[in-house]
Structure 1
Amino acid sequence: MTRKVISVREDACFKQIAAVFVAHAVGAVPVLDGEGRVTGVVSESDLLREEPEGPPGTAPGDGVRRPSRCDLARRLMSSPAITVPEAATLADACRLMRDHHVRRLPVVDRLGRLVGIVSRRDLLKPFVRPDRDIEREIRQDVLTRSLWMDTSRVRVSVRNGMATLSGTMTLRGDTRTALTMALRVDGVVGVIDDLLWERDNVPVRQGF
């Protein structure tokens, strides 16, 4: 996420919000209460709403309704805001963006306070990591530090973000754990399973 976030307070007026949009070349900003919690999002479209028909006494096509210049952010914003917890995964953020058709998500802590913002472009950044960095993380963080099992016979290679795990592990269940954790490493687009196992400890599901 980007930690430096352009935002406005609930009591920001129409002119102040418009000035923020122009000065920072943004089209939408989070709206915060006095405690720094995200209560909504205000966008350019919120400032320049259009109605199908104009107000009484105007001809059709004259229907651009500009909110009152006295309106504050708390009245202009869209609420509740679609936010994502700072501990959420990339997949969680992608899912929220897709489901709610938004390009950016305010990132909040457990109290709902703004700590950053994540965009679609931010979500793509991990996937341009060098293959050697991804391979090193899988070797060191996944196989060496995180897994309480023998991974000395496991080999890792990464090409264009596709990780291949090969070699032999003692238990079949351990191979599943290693593959799952490797898939969660930033920059991994997929995992190829070339692992062998010596003993099957995965229970067989009974059919009906």
Structure 2
Amino acid sequence: MEHLSTVEDVMTHSVISVAHDTVFRDIVQTMRTWNVRVLPVLAEGGRVIGVVSEADLLLDAQDADPDRATTAEQLMTRPAVAVAKDATIPAAARLMARGHLKRLPVVDGDGGLIGIVSRGDLLKVHLRPDADIGAEIRGLITCRLIPRGPVEVHVRVAKGVAYLHGSLPDPALGDAVVRAAGTVPGVVDVRADFTFPVSAA
């Protein structure tokens, strides 16, 4: 499996959306045709300005005549909660959790819609082979964390759990290695058993 670290790596590229001036009935029809419950609303130029959901439509229908020309821009929730394409997968997960959201529009640097990411998409990282996860942790340690002097860290990954052991010069470096390993996509837990020089313990 390819390296998965950003929202762009896991998002769905084909997105059903509506223009800001799409009327009530056409929004409903689009949702039924494509079997979706939430639609990004786009301004001219493709910039995401909001989202319209089934809940928005039902709320409007309770108090108004659905035959009137109510538009997506009038119905939508704003501002749109969107995520940048280069956001990390954990960052997107936190954004979803805070807003109790199931999906997020994915935007480029100009706010243009380029995809959509769901909770299920974010879970794809946990399908990464353990060997790939282990290789990434080793690369992270080798390239960024090893100080001057001999350092020996062994990495084994089983079912997403990273097991680290070896000899490090001080406990602070051990903490840094554990934190870094925990940021690797697909890691669900880190268990470390390091030894340190007597003077550093």
Equivalent of residue 144 in structure 1, options 142, 145, 148: 142
Find the partner of 1:42 among 41, 47, 52: 52
The higher-RCO structure (CA 8 Å, 6+ apart) is: 2
In structure 1, the residue corresponding to 2:196 is in which secondary structure? strand
Equivalences for residues 100-179 of structure 1 within 5 A: 100-139=99-138, 141-149=139-147, 153-179=152-178
2:141 partner letter: L
Measured after TM superposition, the shift of residue 64 of structure 1 is 6.8
- Counterpart residue identity of residue 74, structure 1: E
Contact kept? 1:169, 1:196, Cα under 8 Å:
yes
Q: Matched residues in 2 for 1:2 and 1:71: separation? A: 29
Q: CA deviation at 1:27?
A: 0.8
Map 1:1-208 → 2, pairs under 5 A = 1-49=11-59, 65-139=64-138, 141-149=139-147, 153-198=152-197, 200=200
Offset, 1:155: 0.4
CA deviation map 1:11-62 (0-9, x unaligned): 22223322321221111111111132211101122223278xxxxxxxxxxx
Query: CA separation of 1:144/1:66 partners in 2, compared to 1, >3 Å: closer, same or farther?
Result: farther
How far does the alpha carbon of each residue in 1:49-82 deviate from its partner, in whole angstroms, 9 at most, with x for none? 278xxxxxxxxxxx57453441111112111112
Distance, in Å, in 2 between the alignment partners of 1:21 and 1:78 is 16
TM-score, length-normalised on structure 2? 0.82
What residue ranges of structure 2 are gaps of 5+ in the alignment? Answer: 1-10
Deviation track 1:76-100 (CA, whole Å, cap 9, x = no partner) reads 2111112222333333222222222
Q: 1:114 to 1:197 in 2, by over 3 A?
A: farther
Confirm or deny: 8 A CA contact 1:49 1:66 kept in the other structure. no
State the Cα deviation string for residues 175-195 of structure 1 (Å, max 9, x = none): 222211110111100101112
Question: How many equivalent residue pairs?
Answer: 189
Unaligned runs of 5+ in 1: 52-62, 202-208
CA contact (8 A) 1:46 1:77 kept: yes
Structure 1 residues 170, 99: CA separation in 2 closer, same or farther (over 3 Å shift)? Answer: same
How many Å separate the matches in 1 of 2:200 and 2:25?
67
The alpha-carbon deviation at position 103 of structure 1 amounts to 0.8
Separation (CA, whole Å) in 2 of partners of 1:18 and 1:195: 59
Give the Cα separation in 2 of the matches to 1:27 and 1:69.
21
Structure 2 CA distance, aligned partners of 1:9 and 1:146?
46
8 Å CA contact 1:173, 1:200 repeated in 2: no
Distance 1:73 1:157 in 2: 51
SS in 2 for 1:187: coil
Aligned-pair RMSD on alpha carbons?
A: 2.4
Report the counterpart of residue 206 of structure 1 in structure 2: none
In 2, distance between residues paired with 1:33 and 1:66? Answer: 25
| Structure 2 Cα separation of the partners of residues 70 and 165 of structure 1 | 62
| CA gap 1:66/1:118 in 2 versus in 1, 3 angstroms | farther
Identity %: 42
